[in-house]
Amino acid sequence: MTLSLLAITWGSSFILMKKGLIYFSPQEVAAYRITAAMLVLLPFSLPNLKMLKGNFFPLLASGLFGNGIPAFLFAIAQTEIPSSLSGILNSLTSLFTLLIGILFFRVAAVRFQIAGVVVALIGALGLIGFATLMDFGIYGKYATLVIIAAGCYGIAVNIIKFYLHDVKPAHITSLSFLLIGPGVAIYLLTGTELVEKVTSVPGAWLGLFYLSLLGIVGTAIAVIIFNRLIKETTAVFASSVTYLIPVVAVAWGLFDGETIDLEQVLFMVLILVGIFLINSSAPGRFFNRIFR
């Protein structure tokens, strides 16, 4: 149930970004998202500043790789690619969680997981139209930004699992945003035109409403839930929420008039098959715990 709720919340984030980008620049969308999340989490972060001692760098890394960098990458990417494609490529988070775990955190991998990495990569490369290095157009370049964001998520998941296992999920989330949020908020108010657009552009208040939902529900609350999953299960299993995110993202995209052809569906299936293989060693008791 928790996994499904998280998938619906995060899967809806892509369409909210798309709606916000109608009125605001990618930088404004990302900066407002982070600022809104930081502000709504202040009741959790300010009373627990003492927890920064000994956890400062893991929390900072969690904030940068789990929220800050991906927020800007996703917003920029969606100026050129459909929201549904962003949701599909986001499913590569499990792949990067495993790879980074193997390379830097001594996570053991079984042969099915290695096969899953290969299959998911084939699906991802096919989905973004990566025919050759010489024919890698604008579409593919912006889709690659989403893949980089998924890699950032993989780093954050492993950091939380291995360095912040004794910190409560709400504290991880709120303190991570507190560390990256003030600088982003200053940039939002002094380096962008968001305030001017809200007061002068027709319909901008509606865009701000979408971005508020994105920051509060799709970011702050969703990340708390996700961090709880990481602590209660394995890092790879927690990242398997990305199985369901593409379904929600594609559904919203189709509802909003986006189109998906058969070739894209086939490559999407390859990605999901790969992610399934990557998660094939997750113990069954975790499934019982989450879906009970």
Reported as a single tens digit per residue, the pLDDT across 40-53 is 999 999 999 999 99
Least confident of 105-119, 123-137, 148-162: 123-137
Nearest to 290 by CA among 5, 38, 10: 5
pLDDT band at residue 134 under the 50/70/90 scheme: very low
Contacts of 133 (CB under 8 A, 6+ apart): none
Model confidence at 287, pLDDT cuts 50, 70, 90, reads very low
Task: For residue 74, give every residue at least 6 positions away whose Cβ sits within 8 Å of its Cβ, in sequence order, or none.
Answer: 14, 17, 30, 86, 145, 146, 149
User: pLDDT at position 117, please?
Assistant: 79
Provide the pLDDT for residue 91: 76
Query: Per the structure, how many domains does the chain have?
Result: 1
Q: How far is CA 281 from the centre of its chain?
A: 23
**pLDDT for 166 beyond 70:** yes
Taking residues 249-274, what's their average pLDDT?
A: 81
The tokens for 103 are 């390379």
Q: Kindly report the three-state secondary structure assignment for every residue of the chain.
A: CHHHHHHHHHHCHHHHHHHHCCCCCHHHHHHHHHHHHHHHCHHHHHHHHHHHCCCHHHHHHHHHHHHHHHHHHHHHHCCCCCHHHHHHHHHHHHHHHHHHHHHHCCCCCCHHHHHHHHHHHHHHHHHCCCCCHHHCCHHHHHHHHHHHHHHHHHHHHHHHHHHCCCCCHHHHHHHHHHHHHHHHHHHHHHHCCHHHHHHHCCCHHHHHHHHHHHHHHHHHHHHHHHHHHHHHCCHHHHHHHHHCHHHHHHHHHHHCCCCCCHHHHHHHHHHHHHHHHHCCCCCHHHHHHHHC
The predicted pLDDT at position 128 comes to: 67
- pLDDT confidence of 231, banded at 50, 70, 90? low
Domain containing residue 92:
2-291
